[in-house]
Amino acid sequence: MLISLIIPIYNEQPGLAQLWQTLAEILNNCEQKFEVILVDDGSTDKSWQSITALTHTDSDAVRVYGLRLSRNFGKEAAILAGLHQASGNAAIVMDADLQHPPSMIPQMLSIWDNGKVEIVEAVKRRRQNESLLHRFSAKLYYRTFNLSSGLNIGDSSDFKLLDRRVVDQYIALPEVGRYFRGLTAWLGFHAVAMEFDPPQRQIGRSRWSIGKLLDLARSSIISFSSLPLRSLTWLGGLGVLFSIGFTLQTLWYKWQGFAEEGFPTVILLILGMGSMTLLGLGLIGEYIAEIYWEVKHRPSYIISQSIAPSCSSNQEESDSHDQIKSGHST
């Protein structure tokens, strides 16, 4: 039985030796055979050189493949590239910074038990030492996503085991822009959660800036729900009711023979309605932008170089930029 292990990598060169040392010790003690697919997502350091070296250290039980994307397409695209190349009975996706403990892999395989459970996902029992603002923002995001999409992804992570059936369905989806956690939940396969305490990052630092996290939150909510658009309708309805009430109040005051100063009220109404209009136009623009990117149908990623295991009889190394796979091809 073959298991595919997919690891997206972006500027992780300092920690790759430690990652491989930890992985090799665990995988070589498992009954299954593994193919480890290291996807270099356009790193600017020497990550690709380290990946190339690792392809020469594999064994009959653990084969190492290297994929190099032509530029930084993002983690979601790197995961998709790895899943496209995976040929195992199941695929495990994990990060390269060891915050997804490799020691959980044998237990994940045991729960999976050759397809009786289609998805085994690692769920954070607690978050790392983060600021109060970061914790609050994360809880707010997950709460908003769950309410707007109807999908409960909780504190799940990208550390998941997917049965072959799930992998085939995932890569067959036609979307260009993808959210791995959301789509695996949307597919609806039987999932079992495993709680874990993520260890502190030992080497390097997180590449997720506040801007990238906000962009991920925006795109994920928009791609899974039309609730923000519907909220504009509700907001417009409330505005109509407010306008009717304000009109009746004005007519009543006029009938009673006294009038109040109207300049502050008019200014507030203009500012309020103008802000609501701009907010609505901006929100509609976000959805149109998502449609714009989808209809162009560009490939999710481009592979510029690939390396097969050194002990494979058909070893090859390709520098051709013609090797293109999109998110909707198999």
pLDDT digits (tens, 9 = 90+) for 261-296: 565 667 667 767 777 787 788 788 888 888 888 888
Residue 245 in this model has a pLDDT that exceeds 50:
yes
Nearest partner of 109 among 174, 185, 49, 30, judged by Cα: 30
Residue 150 in this model has a pLDDT that exceeds 70:
yes
Buried b (16+ CB within 10 A) or exposed e, 105-139: beebbeebeeeebbbbbbebeeeeeeeeeeeebbe
Residues 152 and 288 in one domain: no
Give the number of other Cβ atoms within 10 Å of residue 280's Cβ: 17
Helix (H, G, I), strand (E, B), or coil: what is residue 30?
Answer: coil
pLDDT reported for residue 209: 59
Distance CA 250, CA 262 (A): 10
Mean pLDDT for 233-239 is: 74
Task: Give the E-state strand segments of 98-164 in sequence order.
Answer: 119-124, 156-163
Q: Is residue 170 part of a domain?
A: yes
Q: Which residue has the higher pLDDT, 33 or 140?
A: 33
Residue 69 in this model has a pLDDT that exceeds 90:
yes
Residues 204 and 280 in one domain: no
Q: Is residue 330 part of a domain?
A: no
Predicted TM-score (pTM) of this structure: 0.78
Query: What's the domain count of the chain?
Result: 2
Give the number of other Cβ atoms within 10 Å of residue 95's Cβ: 18
Distance CA 55, CA 253 (A): 83
Tokens, residue 13: 């060169």
Residue 326 in this model has a pLDDT that exceeds 60:
no
Q: Is residue 9 part of a domain?
A: yes
Residue written as token pair 């990117």: 293
Residues 60 and 80 in one domain: yes
Buried b (16+ CB within 10 A) or exposed e, 184-195: bbbbebebeebe
Residues 71 and 153 in one domain: yes
Tokens, residue 11: 């500027």
Residues 116 and 41 in one domain: yes
Mean pLDDT for 82-92 is: 95
Q: By the 8 A CB rule, do 260 and 252 touch?
A: no
pLDDT reported for residue 316: 41
pLDDT reported for residue 210: 67
Q: By the 8 A CB rule, do 300 and 327 touch?
A: yes
pLDDT reported for residue 128: 62
Residues 209 and 233 in one domain: no
Q: Is residue 32 part of a domain?
A: yes
Residues 79 and 124 in one domain: yes
Residues 180 and 256 in one domain: no
Give the domain range for residue 157: 2-224+300-325
pLDDT mean across residues, the chain: 81
- Report phi then psi at 264, rounded to 5: -60, -40
Q: What percent of the chain has pLDDT over 70?
A: 81
Chain segment 98-110, per-residue pLDDT in tens? 889 999 999 999 9
Residues 164 and 242 in one domain: no
Contacts (Cβ under 8 Å, ≥6 apart) of 155: 123, 124, 127, 138, 142
- Domain with residue 188: its CATH number is 3.90.550.10
Distance CA 147, CA 149 (A): 6
Distance CA 26, CA 22 (A): 7
Task: Tell me whether strands 317-318 and 301-307 are parallel, antiparallel or unpaired.
Answer: antiparallel
pLDDT reported for residue 10: 92
pLDDT confidence tier of residue 2, bands split at 50, 70 and 90: very high
Q: Which residue has the higher pLDDT, 94 or 153?
A: 94
Distance CA 47, CA 97 (A): 13
Task: Give the E-state strand segments of the chain in sequence order.
Answer: 2-9, 33-40, 62-69, 90-93, 119-124, 156-163, 191-196, 301-307, 317-318, 324-325
pLDDT reported for residue 320: 36
Residue 123 in this model has a pLDDT that exceeds 70:
yes
pLDDT reported for residue 268: 66
Distance CA 7, CA 221 (A): 25
pLDDT reported for residue 203: 62
